[in-house]
Structure 1
Amino acid sequence: MSDPRNVRKAVTVTDIALGSGVSRATVSLVLRGSPLVHADTRAKVEAELKRQGYVYNRSAANLRRRTSSSVALVINDLSNPFFAEFAAGVDDAVAAEGYVVLLGNTGESPERERAVLASLMEHQPAGVILSPAEHSDGERLESALGTQAPVLVFNRELPGAHWDFLALDNRHGARLATEHLLELGHRRIAFFGGHADSSSCRERRQGYADALQAADISPQPQWQIETAPTRLDAAASSQALFAGAADAPTAAVCYNDTVALGLMLGLTAQGRRPGHDFALTGFDDIPEAALATPALTTIAVDPRARGRQAAELLLQRIREPERAAQRTIAPVRLLARASSCAPLGSA
């Protein structure tokens, strides 16, 4: 057993105050970065902090002050470049207000989501931005989180929850993409990728169906193909578009850019040329979309701006906790590029 006489006593604010010849209040102001402390005094206290090896217990300080310097961000799929941009936008906005981001990734697992949230809540964040995993239970999450911190839900609705909600205009965006392909002359248009029971996928499928029906075209069930919203699964599922070769689609509205880029890989592996033999569109306008070959036609949502918007809505909720829950739909726009071509033989 170790000798208790060799255990070093934790350095306290009182120790620093005695060592630097100032009051405990002044040391506390220095630790909080207050501008009220004179530069010479600050330098003296900081030197003493370093000399004695003082470690600032931020969690304890937050508990004493009933405030927090952090915001939790929980993402359903951090491997998707959209969410990397979104997270950067969140960080831009909260950093400007003196917060840091605590990041968690759920990998589309509701069980992992609950574990991540439970762990992050131990740090007592000032608020939470949550992009839910598929099949998340809103009532269960709301019951678990209670009123510990305000929550903003992004992208997917959580039935049973009563938090602020920010979404993309999914239905309108998919309709714009479908109408673009119709204007190019396509009539056999697939909806490719995503899981149909996800709220964002349902809304995008509905926008696709709206455009087809307005053109007197009946959406064909066999042309609505589910995949995981990943590049690998989209590439592996690309052959499903051509199962009935005589009546195969000539174009596809893809669930998102990641799916569209995966489909382009799958088409190329089959000897088909995206943007020449087959037209396709994405959704999100991640940075890679403009650099793909061919450049990807997509629905631009500005993911970094959406991250800033989510953070600003959460900060507003932190400042006004009694305000009624707010539902916000962010606008989208079509960016036409080389991947959306006219049907072969239409010239």
Structure 2
Amino acid sequence: MVTIYDIAKKANVSAMTVSRVINNKGRISEKTRSKVKRIMEELNYVPNEMARSLVLRETQVLFLLVTDITNPFFTTLARGAEDAANKLGYRVLFGNSDESLEKEREYIDTILKSRVDGVLVAPAGDGSLPHLESLRAHSVPFVLLDREVPGIGSDVVLGDSREGTRMLMEHMMGLGHKEIALVNGTPDVSSARLRATAYKEALKLNDLPAPAERILELGYAPRSSLARIGEWLDGLQPLPTAILCGNNMMAIQTIQAIRKKGLRVPEDISVCCFDDLGPVGEIDPFLTVAAQQAYQFGYKGMQLLTGRIADKENEDGEDAWTRILLPAELVVRRSVADLH
């Protein structure tokens, strides 16, 4: 069986050069390219995928690591990533960290042991820094999704958390709400920090109070926070007229906690949040949301990653990092009452 080494020997070039001709990658003179292709035809060479992978150290396999695959936001994001990867000739492996730094570390270890070409990752939080540094140290290209991590430069696709929060707050205040509470992620997650900041700014701009007890910080982990939300509501006097939630899953649990107390949404307490509920939101269009472009997070992230892989030998440092900020859309439904 003819190998790329046979072709390289006859063409008097390296095996890497032959592989780049086969894969149509890299900077090779047209004279050399034509010569290699002519010898391939002479020897009736049929490309072997395993040999191609071993020489180029490319597998055409990518890894997508998200924090909660049960959340419709990440489910749709994953579809966007896979669609883009398929168009670009890649396959995608999936992992779910459950917002756990420990589980994320285990996945990163697996990724480093596996021969994947790059990683799309929604980091669990600021504590993900050593995991990303490990990828960088092993020359594994990566792109961040939904969250940034201080201390490391990278390509990143983000939603506009501040503007989305501003739109939700203005919507509620425009309907007469002045006592607005926040159920949010913890400050070690960049999107949660931005949403908390924008929430406080909106209240301040409208001369409304922002007592600390009206902010409940929960982990985004996909485990029930129903009891904690209920206890928090019990301690609020008076009850807020509206609650802004940091994501859709928190909003569902907040609505459950409110109803468990015999109260109604929106008649007694209004609720709105970031991220839509996917098909559920279409079947029962109830929740007012700042809908993010979940599909585009994955699609554009995959485009950035494959571009980085193709040009990883020519990285120019942090000046070359791409930061995509996707705007959210205010979708008004029935979950916020008009107090006028």
CA 215–117 in structure 1, closer or farther in 2 if over 3 Å, else same = same
Q: Is the 8 A contact 2:159 2:327 kept in 1?
A: yes
Matched, 1:284 2:275: yes
Could you tell me how far apart the structure 2 residues matched to 1:272 and 1:57 are?
Answer: 65
Structure 1 match to 2:330 = 334
- Which deviates the most, 306-315 or 235-244? 235-244
CA 245–123 in structure 1, closer or farther in 2 if over 3 Å, else same = closer
What is the aligned counterpart of 1:318 among 309, 320, 323?
309
Structure 1 match to 2:245 = 254
Q: Deviations over 1:44-95 (max 9, x none)?
A: xx9xxxxxxxxx9956641223322111111122232211111111000010
CA 75–244 in structure 1, closer or farther in 2 if over 3 Å, else same = closer
Task: Give me the TM-score of the superposition, normalised by structure 1.
Answer: 0.78
Could you tell me how far apart the structure 2 residues matched to 1:164 and 1:304 are?
Answer: 17
Structure 2 match to 1:296 = 287
Amino acid paired to 1:268: R
Amino acid paired to 1:91: E
Q: Is the 8 A contact 2:99 2:221 kept in 1?
A: no
Structure 1 match to 2:56 = 65
Amino acid paired to 1:176: M
Matched, 1:271 2:239: no
Matched, 1:217 2:208: yes
Q: Is the 8 A contact 2:148 2:190 kept in 1?
A: yes
Could you tell me how far apart the structure 2 residues matched to 1:315 and 1:293 are?
Answer: 38
The DSSP-based 3-state class of the residue aligned with 1:114 is helix
Displacement of 1:235: 2.7
Matched, 1:227 2:218: yes
Larger Rg: 1
Gaps of at least 5 residues in structure 2 are 3-18, 25-45
Could you tell me how far apart the structure 2 residues matched to 1:212 and 1:265 are?
Answer: 26
Could you tell me how far apart the structure 2 residues matched to 1:204 and 1:189 are?
Answer: 14
Higher RCO (CA 8 Å, separation ≥ 6 residues): 2
Task: Give me the TM-score of the superposition, normalised by structure 2.
Answer: 0.79
Q: Is the 8 A contact 1:193 1:254 kept in 2?
A: yes
Amino acid paired to 2:108: L
The DSSP-based 3-state class of the residue aligned with 2:295 is helix
- Give RMSD over aligned pairs: 2.9
Q: Is the 8 A contact 2:145 2:157 kept in 1?
A: yes
Amino acid paired to 2:327: P
CA 107–60 in structure 1, closer or farther in 2 if over 3 Å, else same = farther
Amino acid paired to 1:260: A
Q: Deviations over 1:98-133 (max 9, x none)?
A: 100011222222222222122123332222111111
Displacement of 1:314: 1.2
CA 298–107 in structure 1, closer or farther in 2 if over 3 Å, else same = same
How many matched pairs?
299
Could you tell me how far apart the structure 2 residues matched to 1:163 and 1:328 are?
Answer: 11
Q: Is the 8 A contact 1:153 1:165 kept in 2?
A: yes
Could you tell me how far apart the structure 2 residues matched to 1:136 and 1:145 are?
Answer: 16
